[in-house]
Amino acid sequence: MGAGAAGLDVAGAVPAKRRRVLAAKTRVGRPRQARRRAQPQPPTPLQRLFRACRAVFRGPGTVPAPPEVALLRAMLDRMRPEDVGLSPDMRFFRTRDNTAQGNPTITHTTIYKSDNFSMVILFLPQNAVIPLHNHPGMTVFSKPLIGSMHIKSYDWADPDDDPAASSPDDQLRLAELVVDDLFTAPCNTSVLYPTAGGNMHRFTAIAPCAILDILGPPYSIEEDRDCTYYADVPYSSQHPKGRRLAWLKEVDMPRDLKMCSVRYGGPRISDR
């Protein structure tokens, strides 16, 4: 090997010492690439719904304004079973041969609860019934996510609207039928108010159901918002204006009503 080759690198093109100097200069003059920051994940549909509820529900004695109701209703109308960790393919929703004696057990799970509102999912097996009950001082949004159910609901009627109305029993109170229909998911959200919209309602599962309920404020025995159950008695005469009336009688909680609670296992929400 000649003396001229001694200072070359393996490529034989540039002396090794000079090449190291050039490389150092290149590193000094090259702008550093900005470190990539992890992009924040967009909020889930459930998280967006939670934030909206937190802004809309302002505690006992308040009712959301019409634009606020429209906002929550639109958000709930877009909710899908997957948004709360459910799928119609789950075994529970494919079982349609419930032959249990009496009223099948109803399951509920709480996503979130505060003094102002709660987010709950109700699971009704086929043929299960949530008896006619009220929601004192509450605004309630009900969104069927899976299944099919019949809803029957009432509001209290003013007896003066029908001078001919006379209660056959002093324990009966006149009510007007608001909803008597079948709802099959996917379908729109129903809303009831403290004195309108069908505050007293009954759910009957035609097929296994999942219902997302938003209650503002939630039930509270301490604040006199306990649940009252009713039996409806047919109204004997036809109203001259075609209104559908019935008599409601307060009753004890039905003995065959069985409810259990399970831990929520769907997407989490952050209260920050």
161-205 pLDDT per residue, tens: 555 555 666 789 999 999 999 999 999 999 999 999 999 999 999
Its domain, for residue 228, covers 45-261
Those residues with Cβ within 8 angstroms of residue 215's Cβ, 6 or more apart along the chain or in another chain:
117, 118, 120, 135, 138, 139, 140
> In the predicted model, what is the mean pLDDT of residues 221-227?
87
Other residues' Cβ atoms within 10 Å of the Cβ of residue 205: 23
- Nearest residue to 214 (alpha-carbon basis) of 24, 36, 69, 96: 69
Question: Domain with 224 in it: what CATH number?
Answer: 2.60.120.10
Q: Is residue 34 part of a domain?
A: no
Tokens read off for 68: 């606020």
DSSP letter string over 173-184?
A: EEEEEEEEEEEE
Q: Is residue 30 part of a domain?
A: no
Q: Which residue has the higher pLDDT, 34 or 246?
A: 246
Element spanning 46, H or E: helix 45-56
Q: Is residue 20 part of a domain?
A: no
Question: The pTM is what?
Answer: 0.80
Q: Is residue 269 part of a domain?
A: no
Omega cis (within 30) before 136: no
Local confidence band at 10 (pLDDT 50, 70, 90 cut-offs)? very low
* Range scoring the smallest mean pLDDT among 32-46, 107-121, 142-156, 170-184: 32-46
Q: Is residue 163 part of a domain?
A: yes
For 195, the 3-state DSSP assignment is: coil
For 18, the 3-state DSSP assignment is: helix
Tokens read off for 225: 């918002």
Answer whether 153's CB lies under 8 Å from 179's CB: yes
- Nearest residue to 182 (alpha-carbon basis) of 154, 213, 211, 149: 149
Domain count, the chain: 1
> In the predicted model, what is the mean pLDDT of residues 72-92?
95
Q: Is residue 268 part of a domain?
A: no
Q: Is residue 3 part of a domain?
A: no
pLDDT single digits (tens) 136-146? 999 999 999 99
Q: Is residue 184 part of a domain?
A: yes
